[in-house]
């Protein structure tokens, strides 16, 4: 492609507070419409905002975790525009004096570590929700979300590919979850992003005309929207047409971005300092106390899993996607599971049984239970195949691996004398195949093993069966 792609993301992260940013209404998701709304967050005449201290604390954690510079004195500003989901006719946000600036997010993409610089992190209140009915001439307004605290994390235009942008958003989600500042529920809109994209000829310094894609709420969509946009813009450029600076939105139904109809000239937000809120002063002691209490971040965890457990790049990355997975892994290993076996079992047998990786924290089989089962496999007492059956029973009925194996007599048969009988019976019953094998059709060995396994209901130690069969057939 003749164009270099330049992408920057503005990610809105909903902070995990109990109450809204400027009033004491609950932030709970899924409440009946307009039930978490008071005089303040519905913008009644005469109300005033009062800042939630926890929102500041949570925002500072991200600033510290990304190495940002925290302003000792920051300021709220009003962003003025009219929209039915914006009760006051302005959004309280931050403008030229944000909470934090600079810093970076490290991402691991295509086997490489990349640093994406941050421009700023600022606090703002969310808007409500407009519901557009498919039929009829009306839209409905629900203000439950109005006033919920958000931070906007603005990156520099450091991203160069749609997949990289998706990985950046995924990494940022991992960080805010590890910090415990956001629940990371994309389907509930807890993380949303606006993507800025422009194309320029390779080697050119100046940025091309920027197009903004608004309000994308999944990793997949961010990638698809950007891929679509690259295609659209390169086609236009190839035809010698100019790119329109505009705001577009991703339509998942038709799989493309569409220009928004709102007039560009209407975007004069008339920012000015919020007179109802004095400047926010951040105490150095607060910063220090938060700094020392920062948890390990996903990228550090990933490194540790590779170094301590000898895990592969892939396994370590996947196991550190969610805090719950990493925690489960550590507990299983602490209970005696071998790191590689635990990792492998988790990424296949455990994840296939949950809808969302975060649910492993509430899995019916505790990490120690998994470790016990894997111990039985490791020591040869249970076959890999039967282990899956035992795992299924553990999941549904909740018993221990040992008990299920004992009750169901599911131990691997490694007693040579007993197995030899079964092997002998199979060999004797199929003289024709024995002859064929001995005549050179050695591929039949697999068939013989299968017969023995069938006869022993899968309990026979396959290695031993092999040895015994070889002795009889070749002997």
Q: Is 89 a residue that touches other proteins (CB under 8 A)? A: yes
Q: Is 18 a residue that touches other proteins (CB under 8 A)? A: yes
- Residue whose CB is less far from other proteins, 80 or 312: 80
Q: Is 38 a residue that touches other proteins (CB under 8 A)? A: yes
The least CB distance from residue 214 to other proteins, in Å, is 9
- Residue whose CB is less far from other proteins, 38 or 473: 38
Among positions 395-434, residues that touch other proteins (CB under 8 A) are: none
Q: Is 287 a residue that touches other proteins (CB under 8 A)? A: no
**CA pair distance 299, 303, nearest whole angstrom:** 6
Which of 389, 420, 418, 417 lies closest to 405, judged by CA? 389
Q: Which stretch binds other proteins (CB under 8 A): 39-47, 164-172, 178-186, 371-379?
A: 39-47
**CA pair distance 339, 322, nearest whole angstrom:** 17
DSSP string computed for 189-241: TSEEEEEEEEEEETT--S----EEEEEE-SHHHHHHHHHHHHHHHHHHHHTTP
- Residue whose CB is less far from other proteins, 274 or 322: 274
171 CB contacts (<8 Å, ≥6 apart)? 105, 106, 107, 108, 298, 299
- Residue whose CB is less far from other proteins, 129 or 388: 129
Applying CB under 8 A, among 133, 206, 292, 417 the residue interacting with other proteins is: 133
Alpha carbon of residue 157 to chain centroid: 22
The least CB distance from residue 280 to other proteins, in Å, is 5
Q: Is 360 a residue that touches other proteins (CB under 8 A)? A: no
Applying CB under 8 A, among 2, 30, 138, 206 the residue interacting with other proteins is: 138
Q: Is 30 a residue that touches other proteins (CB under 8 A)? A: no
- Residue whose CB is less far from other proteins, 258 or 313: 258
Hey, is 437 helix, strand or coil?
A: helix
How many alpha carbons lie under 13 Å from residue 420 in its C-beta half-sphere? 5
- Residue whose CB is less far from other proteins, 5 or 100: 100
Q: What does the per-residue mask of binding to other proteins show for 242-281, with x meaning CB under 8 A?
A: -------x----------xxx--xx-x-x-xx-xxxxxxx
DSSP string computed for 441-458: -TTHHHHHHHHHHHHTTT
Which of 76, 388, 466, 8 lies closest to 212, judged by CA? 8
Instruction: Enter the tokens of residue 15.
Output: 């902070």
Alpha carbon of residue 89 to chain centroid: 34
- Residue whose CB is less far from other proteins, 54 or 467: 54
How many residues touch other proteins under the rule CB under 8 A: the total is 68
Whether residue 225 contacts residue 251, with contact meaning beta carbons closer than 8 Å, is answered with: no
Q: For residue 298, which phi and psi values (nearest 5 degrees)?
A: -50, -40
129 CB contacts (<8 Å, ≥6 apart)? 85, 141, 142, 143, 144, 145
Among positions 42-71, residues that touch other proteins (CB under 8 A) are: 42-56
- Residue whose CB is less far from other proteins, 131 or 429: 131
Which residues of the chain form contacts with other proteins (CB under 8 A)? 17-19, 24-26, 32-39, 42-56, 75-76, 78, 80, 82, 84, 87-90, 130-133, 136-143, 249, 260-262, 265-266, 268, 270, 272-273, 275-281
């Amino acid at each position: 492609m003749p164009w270099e792609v330049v992408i920057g993301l503005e990610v809105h992260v909903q902070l995990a507070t109990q109450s809204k940013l400027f009033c004491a209404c609950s932030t709970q998701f899924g409440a009946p419409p307009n039930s978490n709304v008071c005089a303040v967050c519905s913008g009644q005449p005469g109300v005033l905002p009062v800042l939630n201290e926890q929102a500041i604390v949570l925002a500072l954690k991200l600033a510290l975790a990304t190495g940002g510079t925290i302003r000792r004195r920051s300021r709220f500003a009003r962003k003025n525009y009219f929209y039915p989901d914006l009760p006051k006719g302005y959004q309280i946000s931050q403008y030229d004096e944000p909470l934090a600036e600079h810093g970076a997010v490290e991402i691991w993409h295509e086997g490489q570590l990349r640093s994406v610089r941050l421009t700023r992190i600022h606090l703002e209140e969310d808007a409500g929700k407009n519901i557009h009915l498919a039929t009829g001439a009306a839209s409905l307004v629900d203000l439950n979300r109005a006033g919920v605290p958000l931070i906007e994390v603005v990156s520099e235009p450091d991203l160069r590919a749609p997949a990289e942008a998706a990985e950046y958003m995924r990494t940022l989600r991992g960080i805010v979850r590890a910090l415990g500042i956001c629940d990371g529920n994309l389907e509930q809109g807890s993380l949303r992003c606006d993507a800025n994209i422009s194309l320029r000829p390779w080697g050119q310094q100046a940025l091309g005309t920027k197009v903004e894609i608004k309000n994308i709420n999944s990793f997949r969509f961010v990638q698809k929207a950007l891929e679509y946009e690259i295609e659209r813009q390169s086609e236009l450029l190839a035809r010698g047409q100019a790119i329109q600076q505009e705001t577009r939105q991703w339509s998942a139904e038709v799989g493309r971005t569409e220009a928004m109809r709102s007039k560009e000239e209407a975007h004069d937000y008339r920012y000015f300092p919020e007179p109802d809120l004095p400047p926010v002063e951040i105490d150095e002691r607060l910063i220090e106390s938060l700094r020392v209490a920062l948890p390990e971040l996903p990228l550090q965890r990933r490194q540790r899993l590779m170094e301590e457990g000898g895990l592969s790049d892939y396994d370590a990355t996947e196991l550190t996607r969610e805090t719950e997975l990493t925690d489960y892994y550590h507990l299983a290993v602490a209970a005696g599971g071998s790191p590689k076996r635990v990792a492998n079992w988790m990424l296949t047998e455990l994840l296939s049984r949950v809808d969302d990786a975060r649910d492993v924290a509430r899995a019916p089989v505790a990490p120690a239970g998994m470790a016990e089962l894997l111990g039985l496999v490791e020591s040869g007492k249970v076959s890999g195949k039967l282990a899956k059956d035992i795992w299924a029973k553990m999941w549904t009925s909740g018993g221990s691996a040992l008990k299920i194996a004992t009750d169901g007599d599911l131990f691997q048969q490694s007693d040579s004398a007993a197995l030899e009988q079964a092997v002998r019976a199979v060999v004797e019953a199929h003289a024709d195949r024995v002859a064929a094998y001995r005549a050179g059709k050695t591929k039949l060995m697999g068939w013989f093993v299968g017969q023995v396994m069938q006869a022993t209901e899968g309990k026979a130690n396959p290695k031993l069966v092999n040895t015994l069969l070889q002795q009889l057939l070749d002997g």
